[in-house]
Structure formats: C-alpha cells, structure tokens
Structure 1
C-alpha cells in the first residue's frame, strides 16, 4: 500500500477510539494497533517512523478497523486480536492469555457464557479485564433471568430439567418450563444490562439485599452485596483511586531484554515489601522494536486475567498514554524509579531478563540439537485405548519447559484398534482447529508425538492434509530415540534437551491414560458389560438419564420407556448396576 492509499483509507475512518488492522492480499493480519482517534492514527502511517513499519505498510493491501466505546476497550481488544492473529509486526507474548468476553449465542434459545473464543454469529460483549468479576456478574444474571449455560448437546433431547433448574439459575426452556417468547424477554433484559442499563441487574440485587437484611439473613445479604459490587465495578471498571506508592501491598517489577527477534521480560513480584515470586516470559519481538515496545506489549497482554498489583515498576517508560490511563483507572501506579531500593529491584529484574540459565538453556539446547527455531511452546500428543475401545487422545502443553495446564486438551476418537489412524485423527483435529481459527491457543513451536516412525508418519500426513506448518518429532519409549523427518537422534541419557522431551511425552501419556480410564470406569465397565445393551442402546440410556448413576436410579417403567430396553433388559440393568 502506497502513501496515497493510506491517506485515502484514513480519510474514510471515523474520529473515534478503536483498533485498526493492516492486512496483506491474502487476508493475513500483519499488524494490529489501537487509537483514540482512528483517522489521525492511521493517517500517520503515510509517513512511517521506522524501517520496520515502512516494510509492513509496503506489504499491506488493505486496512480494516473496529470502533470501541472507550480507549480502554480499544487497548483490550488490541491485545485480544494480537493473541488471536499473531501478526508478525506486533510484539507478541508467547504464553499470553486473551481477555474474557461474554457471548449470547446465535440460537432461538441463546446460551450465555464467559469465553475467549466466541462462536460465529454470537452477540459478544467486552473484552473485560477481570475474569472472576465477569463470572460473578454472569452468575447473578442467570440467577435473576434464568438464561441457560449448558452446551447444545446437553440442551437437546432432554425429558426433564437438569440441576441448574433445581438450583434456580436456569428456567429450563429445554423442557418447556418457560416459553421461547418469555425466554426471549429475559435475553433482552440481559442485553440491556450489557449495553449499559445497570439497573436491570443492580436493582433486583439491591431489593434482595434489603430483604435479606430485614429477615436477618446476613450471610445472604453479604453475598448479594458482593455481587452488587462486582456489577458496579464491571460497568465502572476502575473508579478506585491510585494506591499510595509507599504503602503498596503488592508490586510487580519488570525488566526487559531484547535480542534479535526475541525478547524476555523478567517479572519480580513483591508482597509486603518482600520478593515472593520470580518468572521469565518470552515474547516475539519484530526487528527494530525496542524495550519500550516490549513493555507496552507485555503489560497489555500479560494482565489479561491476572490480578493487578498495586504498582508496576519498569526499567523504562512504556510511553503509552492509553496504558497509563488504563492502569490508573484500575488503581495501579506505573513508575520508572531513578534511585533507591526500587531502582535496585529494577536492576535485579533486568539481570534476570538477561541471564540465560536454567530452563532457557534446556529449550535452547533442544533448538540447536534439532536445528529448529526456539521451541518455547511444545505440544505433546498421545493416544490411549483398550483393544480399540474407549479410544482417546491427549494434547498437553509445555511453555518454556514447564507444564501449562490451561493449555491441555483431550479428544474422544473413533473406536478402532489402529494406533497410526488414531494419531492421524488426533493431529488432524488439532491442526484443523488451528487452521480454521477455532483454537484459542497460540500455535506451538514444536509438536511431540508419543511413538515411533509410524506415529510420526501419521502425524505428518495429517499436517500435510490440513496445511498446518509446524515442526514435528516423535519420541519412542523403548530406546528413547528422537525421530525427526530428517533423521533419528540418539542423545546421551543425561542430555537436558532429551529430559525436556521426556517430560512432555510422559505428561501426554499420563493425561491420555487418565482420560481413558475415566471413560472406561464411567461408561464401559458399567454399561457395556450388561447383556442386551449395545453401543446404540447405551447412548440412548445416557442421553435419557444423563449418567450411569441416572440409569442406576431409574425405575423399571422409566427404563422400558427407552427404545431398545425390554422388561428383561431393564431387570438385568437394575441387577448389574446395584
């Protein structure tokens, strides 16, 4: 895109806060930015300030944008989009987490839920900074208006309301306890709340709190008070004053080191004046980006769902008024100390960012040994089954060599006794989710397959079929050989990079076996061994009664009402499941 093209496009944009995206001819997002005034900010790209930005503008084919209500929403949306699209010209936190959203799904009977990956067609509100606060508000909305929170699978084909109805947080439209028209009115009330009409929820909470106090139900009154506080905070998002720096209860100290296209931010966390935590985070840092840009990206992307400290100390000023205003509204003091104890802490953070020991050497050694880019994010895969029954796959994640359990996933696979086909299906499932943008995790730097040459070949077939370009290796158990597309590696038993792969492999195996045993315990051993109950009948029973315990508690008449269950089979079920 040339200078005239940028100016022309900028002239079409509104003078409102929001985000803008530079995209190439294939629709790939190259860069995401935020702006208080979209028109002025995008116009500035007609005269790029650095070689990196000039190169990005030259690659761009179009500029897209989205308007937000406030500068804070623009900042949070920018962080979400950087996490989702991983644009090559933004600084990206590799172990980032996106900000929570609230969605009302696109159904005749919408579902409400907190999510980071909204469904197509859903009505989405947010992003928000505090996931716990949002969850409290969504629960209060469900208690007041009874919107469902269940999956479509659980919603369909129900004969009786679920536990949510008994708990008073759902009006059970699934079984007709409320009409679709009345349910739609409740959905409208929830929409009004998220559009700014706080009284839709605050007023019922206040009335309930007053009633509870009058009845001397003080615990219930306190619970309602806490919910009201969350509701008001969600809409006010930060009316509290900046905390006194000298009396701060908690402090985060940040130091950044940039080396080529990689940056490290060390975070020291102090409580009551004492250091209680140290951690390092890796970021992708485009060529030409300095420490200030790294601090800007880290602060916006790191504090996604974490609790804010009272103050943040940085070695350099992030030089971003939007971030400073956002932190101030959240009651967080941001400072660059010049001398004294605080400056000493910042120096310590910088030393931590610049050191290359511990886990980082393990990851770096693996990159050197395999000849790949630094694999800060490794995803491990394994399959578990019993002679082709209860077939499951595991997908675990290690970030900088440590398990990241929020990134674990598991998958039921086709029932068959074929390890290669099972692995192909598992990798194809993961790859399609990534390629189609349905996975809320960043792409890994390396895939690790539990198995040998056959499993590796199956994984490569799935990657080739889907077009997902990620390096992949396998680790065979017997001789602990690392099998890569370009050859086999037989590393020393005490090699740190081998130990890293072994930990990921073993964790994938543990997670797969655990899931497989859960399925066998809950379903296979309980129902599949009952004469007269085949796979189709088992599914009908579980769909009708919800679980094996539900089948166990059902009467003979309720059992025989299920298609395929006669009196003899019903009696057998009641006998076998006692």
Structure 2
C-alpha cells in the first residue's frame, strides 16, 4: 500500500532511462534497479500489487522514499546500477555472495614480473586471471606453474641481494637478483605463463620445442633435458583438459540451479576446445525471481570484475536486457560479445553438461551445509533478527575487543563472521595510538572510530563493506564509547550491541535493562563465538607485541648493543635464540661487532 508521498514521487519521475533507489523508513537503500523509462518502471511496483511475487510485495511494503539518477542510455544505467549494488549491497537485490573476496592470479608489472594470488582487482596494474572461488586450487595452479616455468616470488629489492636464495637451489626461481638470467629470457618465460593461463598451451609447446632443438644443436644437453621435462608436464595438463566435447573456439558456458533464496551458478571456461577451468558461485536473494532476472544479475556482477571476457557466452536462459548486456560486455572486451542459448549440436551438449554440474554442485552444497551445521548458523541469525528487532538476519557481524596490561602495548581487534562463520580474510588489528594509560572505554572508541573513518573514506575498498551488526566485548561503558564514535562519523544507523561476560547479558544503546538469552539459544552461542574470537585475536596480537618487546629488551641489556646493532643481529640470525646459537666467529663477522663485543654477547646470552 503506497503513501501520498510515494505517489507524488512516482508522478514526478522523468520519462527517461536511469537508476532508481528504494529506501526504508530509516533511509537505508533496500533495492537498486535500472529502467528504460523510470516513471513506468517504478509505477509498476505500486499498481496491481496482487500480481507481485512475495518478495516484491515485502519490498513494496517497506518503501518509504525514492531517489533516482537519470542516465543518457540504458547501458549507462546498467553500469551505474552495478556500481550502486556493489557499494550498498541492498537487501532485496540479487547478490553475488562475497564477491569482494574472490582471488585472482596477477602478473605484476615491471622489469621482473611475478605471478601472485591477490584479492584486489585494480584495472591497469598488471595482467589478471580470474576471479576464482577456491583459493586452494589457485595456489595449486601457482605451484604447478612454478615447477614448469620458474619465476621469482620474493618482493625484495633485487639490487641489494648478494647471493641466490634457497628457491634458486630448488629450481623454483631463475635468480634474476644475481644475474643468473637475462631480462629477455625471463620475460619470455613470463609470456609463456600468460599463454598457459589463457589455455594456449599448444603454442607454448611449439616455442619450447624450438628452444629444445636449438639447445641440442649447441650441445647444451642439460638445458635441452630441462625443456623436454617442461614439455612433458604441459602435455599432461593438455591431456587432462581435453574433455568429451567437440566445441571449438573461446567461450564461457553458464548454468544455475535454484534452491529457495539461493542459486548455485556453474561456469565452464572453454579455450581452444579445452576446458581450462570451471568455477561455481552463489547468488543470494533469488527466491521467486524469473530465470531471466537471475541470469542478468549474475552476468552483470560477475563480468564487471572478471579479468577476461570471451566473445561468446552460452546460457540456458536469455536475460531480459540481453541487448544492453551485450553492448556493455562488448565495450568491456573491445570486440563483440554475444549471448546465446544453443539449440543443437556440440554447444547444446556442453550446456547439458554444465547444467548437470550445477545440479550436482547444489546437492553437494546443501549436504555440506547440513554436515557443517550451516542451518544452525542460519537459525542463530534469524533468532538474532527477532531478539534485536533487526530488519533482517545479520549476515555480516563484526566483533571488537581490547587487550592491554595496565595500558601498556594496548591493541584492538576486529573479527568478521559471514553467515555465522568466521571469515579470517577480513580480520583487522589496531595498535592503540591516542590513549595514554589504562582506559578501555577510550581505546574502544579509538578502534571503532578508525574502522568507520576508513569506511567513509574507502566506500569501494576492503573497508567499505559495513556490518549488519557490531558486537562489542563489554557492557554499558564500552558500548557507550563505541556508539559515540559511530555518531561522530554519522554511521550510528549500524546496529550495535555489547556482550558482558559475567552473565552473558546483551546491552543495547538507549536501553537500561539488558537482554538475557537461554543457555541453549543458538543466537547466544553465536554471539559468544564472535566475542571469544575477538578476544583470542586481540590477545594473540598483544602477546606478539610483548614478545617483540622482550626480544629487544634482552639484547638492549648488553652494553654496546644499541638499536642499530640489535636490528643487524636480528636480521642476520632471525631471533635472540639465533643470536644465542651463533658461534663467536659468526658474531665477529658481523659489521660493527668487535671481538670483545662478540665475547660479551656470548657471555650475556
């Protein structure tokens, strides 16, 4: 049921393409959509509501305000819609689950490039491959490539290195740091890594065969044998990638299987008639949504962050905005990209394989959730939403704690739970900078302030994802300090609670009486897990700081050892234990360590 205010806003909407934002009574964005004609599209939500699906009816019931952006074209509206969805992550939009944290492979720029795993995609800063969903498989690919094409993995300043490290002795690095390989040959190896990752291994094999022949002609049999082994390893990879498909060329094949409010999406990557990889993704918020809408949402969100775009994408269902998506994808690739549903032949057989993999993948995912207790986590989140009167279950919970000894070496921790499970990739640590003495309240205020200052400064970065719930380890005092920090940064609309350890009482801002949950309550157990994890993480950081201080203090007690010599000794021997184990002769060889000082070090330690 609409309000006069909403009716008037709809009447004022322009008859042009653009993006509309729907907000709830708290002013939070709960849905972002695009439209060819803004007024007509938004009006459709509020007319004939009896024909709307359940999810859309719930959305309409919550709408209290509208905002819009006019764009010059449908393609501009699509791009803006994708950016706003990524930034605000509205509750009613179909979302690519945890899309900010998928790993990529990156060839770094510069004279001596490296192949590394990264979770940050920055246009123009190197060559990217991905995204991938399984970080373990990505690291396995890196290890395979290092065995076939050795490359440097360190980030050292190569001009300062005096001798090759153990990686060179193991045959995993060609040691450009000491001139063991010239830049031209090293770059050739990097170029072959790129071809390998693109699925063009046959071209790499041809290049290596030519190099092997040339090495044999020069009677450099050791290099020829090494190249022969590389060729054998690559041919094993090629054999494994040749699946039972007669599809030619370069394409991606996408299919999904739906389970309630989630959809399991499977993508096969075909390059040169070979399956070079497959990845699965989870979409949230797909309940009651037509297949065309699910496909459209996935294509937009996935390919906005994909490092490579093929000229052809096979689908089971075409998106409703096919032309707009094709134009946008083509502009990103630089040449035409076509979306199509195959009707016959090898491509249709491939799609059947992808669809079957999606169905099997969904079954495995549901079984895994059952065995790992994911349903218990969901029950805990739903209970929290009821108990704390939240609009929806808190998918992202951030827990905070402080650790110090009478104000010394004070540190703070931030842990993140996604869907009721710890996500250590998003954990953060803070060294307290502004609070003298033992003032836990002020320390908590500093930590929360620094975290949410970063959130307002980096809306699209790793700090930009805001929590659905903040958990403070402590009672009214710590909670009040955190709330004050949020208000100072205009982020006090984020739900926040304190959990006091003595009676496991939950404190809410503005409420004098705490909430106490039953001991067997799933919500209580989840909050305890978040609180305990924040405490563990903070204590670990604090212990590490104490150990480092203790290391410095041990050496500082030796006359003649100042900060510079202490740093030199630790750098050379790795630790105080290493210095203690060093011989008199080894100590005497260190620059600045005389024979007399070496004897004093041995006696003192």
C-alpha deviations, 1:532-555, integer Å up to 9, x for none? 467676555444555556545656
1:150 aligns with 2:173: no
C-alpha deviations, 1:82-117, integer Å up to 9, x for none? 995455484114445654323344566554311121
Tell me which of 117, 120, 125 is aligned to 1:117. Answer: 120
C-alpha deviations, 1:38-71, integer Å up to 9, x for none? xxxxxx94699954999999823557999xxxxx
What CA distance in whole angstroms lies between the structure 1 residues aligned with 2:188 and 2:44? 44
Aligned twin of 1:439: 462
Aligned in 2, Cα 1:463/1:335: closer, same or farther, shift over 3 Å?
A: same
- Give the alignment's Cα RMSD to 1 decimal: 6.1
Aligned twin of 1:276: none
Aligned twin of 1:480: 504
Deviation at 1:502, TM superposition (A): 1.3
What CA distance in whole angstroms lies between the structure 2 residues aligned with 1:482 and 1:461? 18
What CA distance in whole angstroms lies between the structure 1 residues aligned with 2:500 and 2:301? 37
Aligned twin of 1:382: 401
Aligned twin of 1:490: 515
Structure 2 matches for 1:63-462, cutoff 5 A?
85=87, 88=90, 90-96=93-99, 98-105=101-108, 110-118=113-121, 122-129=125-132, 131=135, 134-139=138-143, 142=146, 147-151=151-155, 162-171=165-174, 176-178=177-179, 182-183=182-183, 186-187=186-187, 190-191=190-191, 193-194=193-194, 198=201, 202=205, 240-241=243-244, 254-257=257-260, 263-264=261-262, 283-284=284-285, 289-290=289-290, 293-294=293-294, 332-334=353-355, 358-373=376-391, 374-388=393-407, 391-410=410-429, 418=438, 419-431=440-452, 434-435=455-456, 436=458, 437-439=460-462, 442-460=465-483, 462=485
What CA distance in whole angstroms lies between the structure 2 residues aligned with 1:200 and 1:169? 23
Aligned in 2, Cα 1:133/1:502: closer, same or farther, shift over 3 Å?
A: closer
Larger radius of gyration: 2
1:513 aligns with 2:557: no
2:498/2:508 contact within 8 Å kept: yes
What CA distance in whole angstroms lies between the structure 1 residues aligned with 2:299 and 2:38? 27
Aligned in 2, Cα 1:79/1:23: closer, same or farther, shift over 3 Å?
A: closer
C-alpha deviations, 1:178-208, integer Å up to 9, x for none? 39x9447635752575375757855687799
Q: Which one scores higher on RCO, CA 8 angstroms, separation ≥ 6? A: 1
1:256/1:291 contact within 8 Å kept: no
What TM-score comes out, normalization by structure 1 length? 0.60
Aligned twin of 1:500: 526
2:507/2:514 contact within 8 Å kept: yes
Deviation at 1:135, TM superposition (A): 3.5
* SS at structure 1 position matched to 2:390: coil
C-alpha deviations, 1:207-249, integer Å up to 9, x for none? 99999xx99xx9x99998556655898xxxx763469xxxxxx
What CA distance in whole angstroms lies between the structure 1 residues aligned with 2:340 and 2:465? 24
Deviation at 1:514, TM superposition (A): 3.4
1:411/1:426 contact within 8 Å kept: yes
What CA distance in whole angstroms lies between the structure 1 residues aligned with 2:153 and 2:129? 18
What CA distance in whole angstroms lies between the structure 1 residues aligned with 2:123 and 2:116? 14
Aligned in 2, Cα 1:186/1:534: closer, same or farther, shift over 3 Å?
A: same
Give the unaligned 5+ runs of structure 1. Answer: 7-20, 34-43, 67-76, 244-251, 258-262, 268-279, 304-316
What TM-score comes out, normalization by structure 2 length? 0.58
1:83/1:98 contact within 8 Å kept: no
Aligned in 2, Cα 1:4/1:365: closer, same or farther, shift over 3 Å?
A: closer
What CA distance in whole angstroms lies between the structure 2 residues aligned with 1:328 and 1:392? 58
49-58 vs 494-503, which moves further: 49-58
2:399/2:531 contact within 8 Å kept: yes
Aligned in 2, Cα 1:107/1:205: closer, same or farther, shift over 3 Å?
A: closer
* SS at structure 2 position matched to 1:529: helix
483-492 vs 188-197, which moves further: 188-197
What CA distance in whole angstroms lies between the structure 2 residues aligned with 1:239 and 1:57? 52
Aligned twin of 1:60: 69
2:20/2:67 contact within 8 Å kept: no
* SS at structure 2 position matched to 1:470: coil
Deviation at 1:505, TM superposition (A): 0.3
What CA distance in whole angstroms lies between the structure 1 residues aligned with 2:424 and 2:471? 16
2:399/2:470 contact within 8 Å kept: yes
2:14/2:39 contact within 8 Å kept: no
1:387/1:417 contact within 8 Å kept: yes
Deviation at 1:334, TM superposition (A): 1.1
Deviation at 1:378, TM superposition (A): 0.9
